[in-house]
Chains A and B, each alone.
Chain A
Amino acid sequence: MTITNFLLAAAAFVLLMVAIGLARILYGPTDVDRILSVQLIGSGGVAVLLLLSVGLKLPPIMDVALMLGLLATFVSVAFLRDAADSSSVSTSTTEDR
Chain B
Amino acid sequence: MRLALDIITVVLISAGGFFFMAGTIGLLRFPDTLTRLHALTKVDNLGLGLIVFGLLAQVESRLDALKVIAIWLLVQMSGAIVSQLIAQATRRLGRQT
Q: In the complex, what residues of A have CB within 8 A of residue B43's CB? A: 21, 40, 43-44
Known: A69-B71, A77-B85. 20 other contacts (CB 8 A): A14-B17, A14-B20, A14-B47, A14-B51, A17-B17, A17-B23, A21-B40, A25-B27, A32-B33, A35-B86, A36-B36, A36-B40, A43-B43, A50-B68, A51-B55, A59-B60, A62-B67, A70-B74, A70-B78, A73-B82
Between-chain CB contacts (< 8 Å), 28 pairs: A10-B51, A17-B20, A17-B23, A18-B24, A21-B24, A21-B27, A21-B40, A21-B43, A24-B28, A25-B36, A32-B90, A33-B33, A35-B86, A36-B27, A36-B36, A36-B37, A40-B27, A42-B79, A50-B52, A54-B58, A59-B64, A59-B67, A66-B70, A66-B74, A69-B74, A69-B78, A84-B93, A87-B93
- Chain B: how many interface residues by the 8 Å CB criterion? 47
Q: In the complex, what residues of B have CB within 8 A of residue A33's CB? A: 33, 36
Complex: A59 Cα to B64 Cα, angstroms: 7
- Chain A: how many interface residues by the 8 Å CB criterion? 44
